[in-house]
Amino acid sequence: MLETRPDASALLSSVFGFDGFRPGQADIVDAVAAGRNVLAIMPTGGGKSLCFQLPAIMRDGVTVVISPLIALMRDQVRGLREAGVEAGALTSGNTPEETDAVWQALEERRLKLLYIAPERLASSGTERMLNRAGVSLIAVDEAHCVSQWGHDFRPDYLKIGALRRTLGVPLAAFTATADAETRDEIVARLFDGAAPEVFLRGFDRPNLSLAFEVKNQPRSQILSYAAARRGQSGIVYCGTRAKTETLARALCDDGHSACAYHGGMEADDRRHVEHRFATEDGLIVVATVAFGMGVDKPDIRWVAQADLPKSIEAYYQEIGRAGRDGAPADTLTLYGPDDIRFRRSQIDEGLAPPERKAADHARLNALLGLAEAISCRRQKLLGYFGETAEPCGNCDLCARAPETFDASTAVQKALSAILRTGEWFGAGHLIDVLTGTGTDKVIDRGHDRLPTFGVGTEFDRKGWQAVFRQMMGHDLVRPDPARHGALRLTEAARPILRGEAGITLRKDTLARGGRRPAAKALVSEEDAPLLSALKAKRRALAETARVPAYVIFTDRTLIEMAETKPQSLDEMARISGVGATKLERYGAAFLEIVTGEAEAPSHPARRKLAGREAGVLYDRLLSVQADLARGDSGLDKPLSCSSSQLAKLADLRPTDRETVEKLLGERRADRFAEAFLDVLRAAG
């Protein structure tokens, strides 16, 4: 018999329902499917999982997937099964029945993907089992967990190299961490130093909007950002545990559904938050970096960083958790001089060897350069990852070019103030000297007699603060922990001090930037009711199947449905994210929503209204109802009105709450009356 390897793009569309590969995916899939050793560095949300799932389906035997987080594994297994692929997981979270079923499927050689928690590798039973199971490939997710210097280090990951040797099969490692040191560590530990084929590309995430703001009442900055995105799932990253709790409370007080998450919480509480985040629509999690690798939710619509992350990689990884489904998502990063000091001292006071510290400072510098950028942020970000790009049109600087000025003289004055005071002072005191403010401290030290005293009249305090912050951002000066954070010059400052190089700084970063434009709508106003009806359907199906909504379809898929309005199952099948299995399972249900076909016949009450204005009104009430099926917050008990109740409303068009309440009863009126009245009154 002729053996043909199933074609990758055919499987891509029939199993996963995608009509094309994302950048970089096709080459990686080819290499992995061909059995070569691979290290792929892809951005979060770039579509890593597909790069081992698809080859696993293509290859004979079972692919072992090692992944650090149980929740993530269970999610992927669920997603694969929904797509009709035999997959199972062995984790400590399994029930004995689940474990038995996995063993059984392995025995019968049915399984295509077996997910294993790293701690399982320690048991000799696992190795024996894998030896018998016909393993043909090892895939390692979050491969940077082998790096001892990262905060995600997992000692059990060190056993993977031995497993690869024992099984004698190819290994494909995946990570979003781009820096060279981590890459070298991965090669050394997972591949015994034998260079794998490396893929490093596709770092652009054009659907993410990028923005930075200087801190200025940071709490209200975050609150107004969240307010513009009410009802959408988001993450707020904070530098400290305490802040996650105060900020979560502030968001709740502001009417959001929000909760805190950090490493100091009990494991059970953390799991509870992870579960809520995965299953609820519109929850905001306020978290430290501990909320990270397990976040596999593809429809996170925004990420805000309330404090500056430690490096450009950390920045990229955190914002990258938004918009994995490819639909538009927003990101905002707040920063200020305190953040810079904090991140510098964190590096200086850490235990890493000196080369490592220098590298960490450089990675922080790259992020600060991005924060203080004066043109397209994406260009700069991609430049760091070695890619070139045109201005993106989807960052704050593309939206509004910042005002800049030649700051060479101002910076020279500041540098000379630092030198003349012996590099022993922080920005506050230096600004006193520059602006000629005779504080006690200035007079005690005789700094009012320095030639630099009072030479900086061109700016007020705020202006000078902006200059000092940007000087730190450009790494011209660094706080010295041995001198209580006093600013000292770096080598980069010398040419400017000597007048051999100039420097341009931003003028406007401290100006209050009016009201921020509201978040972009996901679909046009016209398609919005259909999108919410589709979402309501998804929610109902997800509840029945007891899975997170996105396991049924992601936002992006629903958006495409709302926009293209497929009229048949054939057209439905062309939508990205609708694979064969999902088409069979859910296609008809969603098609009904789009075409409205099955609806009329199934509700005699609506049929009676057909062709009348009341029919249109009925449909509007129905879609408003779908939006509110779980209340304003999206978290209440599902509630809906009967078709005949809606028909009566559409027919009688009451415009006062009392009549509505009489028709619906108090409980339904509480939830729907206000929204219904808006519709009815507008119909006049």
Contact positions vs ligand ADP (CB under 6 A): 18, 21-22, 25, 42, 44-50, 296, 298, 324-326, 554, 576
- Pick one of ligand ADP, Zn ion, none as the site partner of residue 398 (Cβ within 5 to 8 A by kind): Zn ion
- Supply 589's token pair: 């249900």
Applying CB under 5 A, which part among 87-95, 231-239, 385-393, 607-615 lies near Zn ion?
Answer: 385-393
Residue type, 387: E
Report the residue number, 245 or 296, with the smaller CB distance to ligand ADP.
296
Per-residue x/- marks for Zn ion, 291-310, CB under 5 A?
--------------------
- Pick one of ligand ADP, Zn ion, none as the site partner of residue 230 (Cβ within 5 to 8 A by kind): none
- Supply 529's token pair: 């009711």
- Pick one of ligand ADP, Zn ion, none as the site partner of residue 48 (Cβ within 5 to 8 A by kind): ligand ADP
Residue located via tokens 């929204």: 675
CB 380 → Zn ion: shortest distance, Å?
Answer: 9
The rounded distance, in Å, linking the Cα atoms of 259 and 285 is 5
Residue located via tokens 């960052």: 395
8 A C-beta contact, residue 461 and residue 467? no
CB 21 → ligand ADP: shortest distance, Å?
Answer: 5
Report the residue number, 509 or 576, with the smaller CB distance to ligand ADP.
576
Q: Which residue is nearest to ligand ADP (CB)?
A: 47
Candidates 64, 67, 5, 484; CA nearest to 294 is 67
Candidates 110, 118, 64, 117; CA nearest to 94 is 117
CB 6 → ligand ADP: shortest distance, Å?
Answer: 17
Give the list of residues 6+ apart from residue 383 with CB closer than 8 angstroms, or none: 389
* Phi, then psi, of 193 in degrees rounded to 5: 80, -10
Report the residue number, 105 or 398, with the smaller CB distance to Zn ion.
398
Report the residue number, 49 or 257, with the smaller CB distance to ligand ADP.
49
Applying CB under 5 A, which part among 70-78, 130-138, 284-292, 386-394 lies near Zn ion?
Answer: 386-394
* Phi, then psi, of 531 in degrees rounded to 5: -60, -40
Question: Residue length, the chain?
Answer: 684
8 A C-beta contact, residue 302 and residue 229? yes
- Pick one of Zn ion, ligand ADP, none as the site partner of residue 42 (Cβ within 5 to 8 A by kind): ligand ADP
CA 475, 476, 480, 486 dihedral sign is negative
CA atoms within 13 A on the CB side of 399: 10
CB 647 → ligand ADP: shortest distance, Å?
Answer: 39
8 A C-beta contact, residue 314 and residue 182? no
CB 218 → ligand ADP: shortest distance, Å?
Answer: 28
8 A C-beta contact, residue 528 and residue 626? no
- Supply 394's token pair: 């989807």
Report the residue number, 206 or 353, with the smaller CB distance to Zn ion.
206
The rounded distance, in Å, linking the Cα atoms of 302 and 236 is 9
Angle at the Cα of 155 (from 149 to 159), degrees rounded to 5? 120
40 forms beta bridges with: 174, 199
- Pick one of ligand ADP, Zn ion, none as the site partner of residue 150 (Cβ within 5 to 8 A by kind): none
- Pick one of ligand ADP, Zn ion, none as the site partner of residue 21 (Cβ within 5 to 8 A by kind): ligand ADP
8 A C-beta contact, residue 363 and residue 307? no
Report the residue number, 389 or 569, with the smaller CB distance to Zn ion.
389
- Pick one of ligand ADP, Zn ion, none as the site partner of residue 469 (Cβ within 5 to 8 A by kind): none
CA atoms within 13 A on the CB side of 577: 20
- Pick one of Zn ion, ligand ADP, none as the site partner of residue 244 (Cβ within 5 to 8 A by kind): none
Residue 395 interacts with Zn ion (CB under 5 A): yes or no: yes
Report the residue number, 48 or 380, with the smaller CB distance to ligand ADP.
48
Residue located via tokens 């009509």: 19
Report the residue number, 21 or 425, with the smaller CB distance to ligand ADP.
21
Other C-beta atoms closer than 10 Å to the C-beta of 44 total 20
Q: What is the DSSP string of 538-588?
A: HHHHHHHHTS-HHHH--HHHHHHHHHH---SHHHHHTSTT--HHHIIIIIH
CB 316 → Zn ion: shortest distance, Å?
Answer: 15
Report the residue number, 23 or 428, with the smaller CB distance to ligand ADP.
23
CB 399 → Zn ion: shortest distance, Å?
Answer: 8
Report the residue number, 475 or 555, with the smaller CB distance to ligand ADP.
555
The rounded distance, in Å, linking the Cα atoms of 638 and 416 is 67
E strands, 372-454, are: 404-406
Which residue of 363, 378, 538, 630 would you call a contact of Zn ion, by CB under 5 A? 378
Report the residue number, 82 or 372, with the smaller CB distance to ligand ADP.
82
Report the residue number, 395 or 660, with the smaller CB distance to Zn ion.
395
Applying CB under 5 A, which part among 168-176, 279-287, 391-399, 425-433 lies near Zn ion?
Answer: 391-399
CB 394 → ligand ADP: shortest distance, Å?
Answer: 18
Report the residue number, 76 or 412, with the smaller CB distance to ligand ADP.
76
- Pick one of ligand ADP, Zn ion, none as the site partner of residue 378 (Cβ within 5 to 8 A by kind): Zn ion
CB 352 → ligand ADP: shortest distance, Å?
Answer: 27
Report the residue number, 307 or 318, with the smaller CB distance to ligand ADP.
318
- Pick one of Zn ion, ligand ADP, none as the site partner of residue 40 (Cβ within 5 to 8 A by kind): none
- Pick one of ligand ADP, Zn ion, none as the site partner of residue 541 (Cβ within 5 to 8 A by kind): none
Can you tell me whether residue 90 is helix, strand or coil? strand
Which residue of 188, 389, 398, 497 would you call a contact of Zn ion, by CB under 5 A? 398
Residue 205 interacts with Zn ion (CB under 5 A): yes or no: no
- Residues touching Zn ion, count (CB under 5 A): 5
395 forms beta bridges with: 210
Applying CB under 5 A, which part among 244-252, 368-376, 580-588, 664-672 lies near Zn ion?
Answer: 368-376
Residue 389 interacts with Zn ion (CB under 5 A): yes or no: no
Task: Find how far residue 262's CA is from the centre of its chain.
Answer: 17
The rounded distance, in Å, linking the Cα atoms of 181 and 99 is 38
Q: At what angle do helices 461-473 and 337-348 cross, to 10 degrees?
A: 40
CB 176 → ligand ADP: shortest distance, Å?
Answer: 7
Residue 392 interacts with Zn ion (CB under 5 A): yes or no: yes
Can you tell me whether residue 259 is helix, strand or coil? strand
Q: What is the DSSP string of 268-309?
A: HHHHHHHHHHHHSTT-EEEE-TTS-TT---TT--EEEESS--
Residue 158 interacts with Zn ion (CB under 5 A): yes or no: no
Report the residue number, 549 or 660, with the smaller CB distance to ligand ADP.
549
Can you tell me whether residue 256 is helix, strand or coil? coil
Residue 376 interacts with Zn ion (CB under 5 A): yes or no: yes
- Pick one of ligand ADP, Zn ion, none as the site partner of residue 376 (Cβ within 5 to 8 A by kind): Zn ion
- Supply 197's token pair: 């084929």
Give the list of residues 6+ apart from residue 315 with CB closer than 8 angstroms, or none: 305, 309, 333, 367, 370
Q: Which residues bind Zn ion (CB under 5 A)?
A: 376, 378, 392, 395, 398
